[in-house]
Chains A and B, each alone.
Chain A
Amino acid sequence: MEKYNVYAARLLPKVDYLGSGHRACQGCGEVLAMRLVHKALGKNTIVASATGCMEIISSPYPESAWKVPWIHVAFENSAAVASGIEAGYKALMRKGKYPKRKINFVGYGGDGATADIGLQWLSGAMERGHDMVYVCYDNEAYMNTGIQRSSATPLGASTTTSPAGKASTGQQTWKKNMPEIIAAHNVPYVATVNPSYPFDMFQKVQKAAATPGPAYVHVYSSCPTGWRMRPELAVQIGRLATETGIFPLYEVENGVYRMTHEEGDLRPVRDYLKPQGRFRHLTDDLIDSIQARIRQDYRKLQLKVRMSQEERDGDE
């Protein structure tokens, strides 16, 4: 979004590697993101997918939507499977059995598969340095099994296992910061992307694919079904997530932080929380405390960006 301020679909590649006719819900922000990711990755891509919504909706015959090789193993291990595919290919290329060419080895997981059950597998893959891209589609709960909370569910959200009511105000813990956890692995590339900002997303995914070594892309994925909101708000809510500072768009390239979309004054988080049924029960006090924490986190990120700039300026 640096160069453009309007989104025109014709500016993106026409060809799709995730076909239409899949079984995602109306207004699914996650599948919208996945389609864009594949426009950016292109044809030479092999996908290892974790269990989850995107596995379920894209694979059943006759609605199978994949036009690239795809493997689903289990819930926790897409990063490990992708590691194996990458290592196998590398060995066979080295031996001259396969022609040498650039292939995108991609691991997919939702927020549960990434931040909960699959975290150690992802950590292992990132640490080993495979030439792969891991994409986390974060819709902030286990939507596929019926909206159970995950460690990526935001504070205060009501889910079936963190239900809001007389005894509870919904999710009791702050969202786990996955991009930071992976950045701490010192991988060459980490980025947050949001399908409501398609060009920013497109460029970052391409960059992740072009990066030698492991890259991690964290995708904001709105979920009208699980978030209890109107399906037509899927894109708009994504905009609000970034405009309020809840989901800032940034990248970490070889340790250097950079905002790819700078917001001037952050909008109040209330604008983001209000249209979503999962936050309906929040009191003003709770919203204020969320607001304070969001500001604090955003400020921390800005400081990291500034520090990166200063370091770079110092080097020059």
Chain B
Amino acid sequence: MPPSVDPKKPPQTLMQGNVAVAEAAIRVGCRFFGGYPITPSSEVMMRIAQLLRENNGTFIQMEDEIASICAVIGASWSGAKAMTATSGPGFSLMQEGLGYAYFTETPLVLVDVQRAGPATGQATHVAQGDVMQFKYGSHGDYYPIALAPWSVQELYDLTIRSFNLAEKYRVPVFLATDEAIGHARENIEIYEEFEIVDRVREGEGMPFGHDAPDGVPVMPAFGDGASLMVTGSTHNPQGFRKVDDPDVHNNLVTRLMRKTMDHVDDIVETEEYFLDDAEIAFFAFGISARTAVAAVRRLREKGVKAGLLRTRTLWPFPEKQITEVGKQVRALIVPELNKGMMASVARGYSQAPVHQINKTNGYVLEPEELIEYVEEELS
């Protein structure tokens, strides 16, 4: 038996999920938050309003979500690590700004505490229905990064990681959480030290350069001395507007896609539970992965060789991992709180047939529902 208190481990702190986001953001260096109240994400804003005041940062409650994301873009170009938090309806309003941020390579973090939609939907209830909006919310080709925590601890940790990835790759990063985790209260461990990545503000190459190492160009801030021009129109490596040259547009869109696609191994994180000898496997993310791991344990007790592949990264999609698991098992089951968004993507990579368990009533899946499905459909 391990000792109940490990002296090497940091003390446990009871924290609400949304509060953990605010606390972690401050620790990783976030100094600007522009936001607008929306259930179930408002606690992020309410906490960070206090924290930024105490840490010489700036908090602005904007007049709507369109303004919020644009203020975050502005703050990011002024050199600050910047963030906003919202939920479905607000996320929809932000899409214009997000497409812009992606195209202009503006690092920022957006926390989407998902609720049931479309439209106003169920403001106080959980859902995982924004999966496709993370990927396809803006018009045009792009490949953003979306991380999916499954606990308050991971909300804290992945908030830090979101900022690090945003700064490293100069992209907007989505923290794809949901009402259930956002409003959960759990004990978490807060580490004294962790890796903090800051954008490269000085160096060789153009700020929107095609030949940048790793595809990520330097990002001077306004006032850093570079003659900086930032535009959402198609632009050349210097940032000058150049909309009639077919090569410039194609090169830009291709490079931006490759910034994510060439670094999939660095970005994508998955975890395996009881997969070694599994005959059937769940593939899940966020709160539904917690349901799935409980279901797997109970199925194992019943003698069913079940396992779980959990992804902490919605986008880029864990293609390789799904392909591997798909070769091994006779069925892949995707439980999620939508009508099958992740399942439809998994079908493109899994050799094994993909089953889906969907719940869209504003409540989380129960382990019994998963066990029942396995016993009725797959035994």
Contact = CB atoms under 8 A, between A and B. Distances in A.
Interface of A: 51, 72, 74-76, 112, 115-117, 119, 142, 145-146, 148-149, 151, 160-163, 165, 167-168
B46 interface: yes
Interface in B52-85: 53-54, 59, 61, 63-65
B37 A145 contact: yes
A75 B89 contact: yes
A104 B111 CA distance: 41
A51 B61 contact: no
Contact of A117 (B39, B49, B63, B119): B63
Given A161-B59, A162-B49, 15 more contacts: A72-B120, A75-B64, A112-B37, A117-B63, A117-B64, A117-B65, A145-B42, A146-B46, A148-B42, A148-B61, A160-B42, A161-B45, A161-B49, A165-B50, A167-B53
Given A145-B38, A148-B42, A149-B61, A160 B49 contact: yes
Contacts of B50: 163, 165
A287 B89 CA distance: 39
B64 A74 contact: no
A112 B64 CA distance: 9
Contacts of B54: 167
Contacts of B59: 161
A119 B63 contact: yes
B22 to A, nearest CB: 12
Contacts of A149: 61
Contacts of A112: 37
Contacts of A116: 36, 63-64
Contacts of A163: 49-50
A163 B64 CA distance: 20
Contacts of A75: 64, 89
A246 B37 CA distance: 26
A72 B120 CA distance: 9
Contact of A142 (B37, B49, B119, B120): B37
Given A146-B46, A148-B45, A168 B63 contact: no
Nearest to A72: B120
Contacts of B39: 145-146
A117 B53 contact: no
Contact of B120 (A51, A119, A145, A162): A51
Contacts of B64: 75-76, 116-117
A88 B137 CA distance: 31
Chain A contact residues: over half helix, strand or loop, or mixed?
A: loop
Contact of B119 (A74, A76, A119, A146): A74
A146 B59 CA distance: 17
Contacts of B63: 115-117, 119, 151
A37 B49 CA distance: 36
Nearest to B39: A145
13 contacts: A72-B120, A116-B63, A117-B64, A142-B37, A145-B39, A146-B42, A148-B46, A151-B63, A160-B46, A162-B49, A163-B49, A167-B54, A168-B53
Interface residues of B, number: 19
Most chain A C-beta atoms within 10 Å of own C-beta, residue among B36, B37, B42, B65:
B37
Nearest to A51: B120
B69 to A, nearest CB: 13
Contacts of A160: 42, 46, 49
B34 to A, nearest CB: 12
Contacts of B65: 117
A151 B54 CA distance: 23
Nearest to B90: A75
A117 B36 contact: yes
A148 B37 contact: yes
Contacts of B42: 145-146, 148, 160
Given A74-B120, A145-B39, A161 B53 contact: no
Nearest to A153: B61
B89 A161 contact: no
Interface string B8-47: 0000000000000000000000000000111100100110
A146 B50 CA distance: 15
A119 B54 CA distance: 32
B170 to A, nearest CB: 29
The 8 nearest A-B residue pairs measured at CB = A117-B64, A116-B63, A145-B37, A148-B37, A160-B46, A142-B37, A161-B49, A167-B53
Contacts of B61: 148-149, 161-162
Interface in B256-277: none
Contacts of B49: 160-163
A179 to B, nearest CB: 18
Contact of A161 (B38, B46, B119, B120): B46
A311 to B, nearest CB: 35
B269 to A, nearest CB: 33
A115 B63 CA distance: 8
A74 B39 CA distance: 14
Interface in B116-143: 119-120
Contacts of A117: 36, 63-65
A178 to B, nearest CB: 13
A75 B90 CA distance: 10
B293 to A, nearest CB: 32
Contacts of B89: 74-75
Nearest to A168: B53
A72 B49 CA distance: 30
